[in-house]
Each structure stands twice: as C-alpha cells, then as structure tokens.
C-alpha cells in the first residue's frame, strides 16, 4: 500500500526511526541533528584528505615534470621574464 503525498507530509520527524550514534556517549547533551552534522563534516574531511593524498602521490611521483608539455611552459615563462 503506497502512501499519498499528503500522508507523507503529515509524518513528523519524530516518527522516523532513531539510531544509536557512537558519538552519543561522547556528547550526551548534543542533539542527534548536530551529531549527524559532525559526522558528515568528519566524513567530508576524510574524503578531502584522501583526495589530497592521492593528488600528492600522483603530482610528486617523478622528480621532473609529469609530461613534456610542462617543459615548454617553463621555457616560455623564462622567455617572458627576459
């Protein structure tokens, strides 16, 4: 049986199932919404750190430039400085 849109709109957020968060014991006075925001922020920071680590591995894998085009850009920059 499917719910209509009006029935879905009548559902209060308190009727949603609650999940025991591992952060609940650390901050007993913090709401579940704030814990979810902290968890999302930590996840985003972890993904960003992983992407930066991957970028650093690729960027600094060789002592020189990664492709031949970089040498042409360097030479052009030297010519422009003169």
pLDDT, tens digit (0-9, with 9 covering 90-100), for 53-68:
999 998 888 787 777 8
| Per-residue pLDDT, 46 | 97
C-alpha triplet 29, 31, 35: angle, nearest 5°: 105
| DSSP of the chain | -PPPHHHHHH--GGGSPP---TTTTT-TTS-HHHHHHHHHHHHHHHHHHHHHHHHHHHHTSSSS-SSTHHHHHHHHHHHHH-
Q: Is the pTM of this model over 0.85?
A: no
Q: Which residue has the higher pLDDT, 26 or 5?
A: 26
Residue 27 has pLDDT above 90, yes or no: no
Query: Where do the structural domains in the chain lie, given as residue ranges?
Result: 21-81
Residue 9 has pLDDT above 60, yes or no: no
Q: Name which of 8-22, 30-44, 55-69 the model is least confident about.
A: 8-22
């Amino acid at each position: 049986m499917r719910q209509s849109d009006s029935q879905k709109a009548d559902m209060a957020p308190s009727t949603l199932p609650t999940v025991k968060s591992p952060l609940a014991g650390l901050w007993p006075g913090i709401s579940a919404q704030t814990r979810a925001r902290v968890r999302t922020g930590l996840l985003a920071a972890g993904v960003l750190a992983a992407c930066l680590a991957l970028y650093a591995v690729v960027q600094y894998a060789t002592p020189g430039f990664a492709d031949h085009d970089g040498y042409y850009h360097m030479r052009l920059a030297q010519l422009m400085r003169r």
